[in-house]
Structure 1
């Protein structure tokens, strides 16, 4: 179950990262169109690369946070073991052997 939650969170983070990269590329195109000379266009391109790298770094940080949250969830588990407990002999009135006919069962 924890693995599935982690994967879903990772998919959401990946989607956010792709959106950030797309917006950086869109901004780059708009700024390049308004740039007046080659130096300004180069500066715009470098800014776009920096924004994409920052988006990638945020993705890796979010994934690391998901792993940490998942690991913390495993340590503090409140899982109840599934075992069968029989009631104490003094609390239940079991029939003495031989009280039931041979073909019948107690339970």
Structure 2
């Protein structure tokens, strides 16, 4: 989770959208791409998008990015055998994105 720094919900959403290489507005089926350090790139498809959530499905996981009250939260469900270090790497990516 990245702490609130006074950004608006729309401001956090814009940063997440840009960080995931998504168009604005985010449409179902849009292709997402992100490159967190020490992990393979995230390449997937938007399967849910509303004012507070963007959900991306990849071949090996589901990634949910939540934004509310100027705060960002990321939840991931990984299906591959090599998930060691994923939580720390995504935390670093999110903190760097919003930092």
**What TM-score comes out, normalization by structure 2 length?**
0.25
**What TM-score comes out, normalization by structure 1 length?**
0.24
Which is higher, the Rg of structure 1 or of structure 2?
Answer: 1
- Answer 1 or 2: which has greater helix percent: 1
